[in-house]
Amino acid sequence: MKYYFLSGIPRAGNTILSCLLNQNKNIGVTANSYLTEVFSSLEKMKHTNEAYLNYPDEKSHTSLMNNILPSYYSQWESEFIIDRSCWGNPYYMDILKKYCPNEIKIICL
């Protein structure tokens, strides 16, 4: 499975592009995804969560972050997954660079 990301401003054609791409059985485009929030929440916990601060287990945290995408999309049958969210934001770009399992490709509209 390969992951790509779709990021665009409102009214730029994200929905129509998603509908067109989803007609191909090898491509799965999400609705507006909340995975940016999942990544962000877990990353922020490293700095705010008392349990993590008392026992900072970086290896386990990194493993969890590295497996968010494969785990979340494990039931999808598409070869190519396009996650649609605000991935173009510099904060989320840094998260992708750190935890994305393959080369980052973002479709920007």
pLDDT in tens, 48-106: 989 888 988 899 999 999 999 999 999 999 999 999 999 989 999 999 999 986 789 99
Q: Assess whether pLDDT exceeds 90 at residue 39.
A: yes
Cα separation of 22 and 77, whole Å? 12
Instruction: Write down the pLDDT at residue 79.
Output: 96
Q: DSSP character for 43?
A: H
In 3-state terms, what secondary structure has residue 66? helix
What are 83's two structure tokens?
């996650």
Q: Which amino acid is at 93?
A: M
Structure letter (DSSP) for residue 13: S
Locate all alpha helices (DSSP H) within 1-109, ordered by sequence.
14-21, 35-48, 50-54, 58-66, 68-72, 90-99
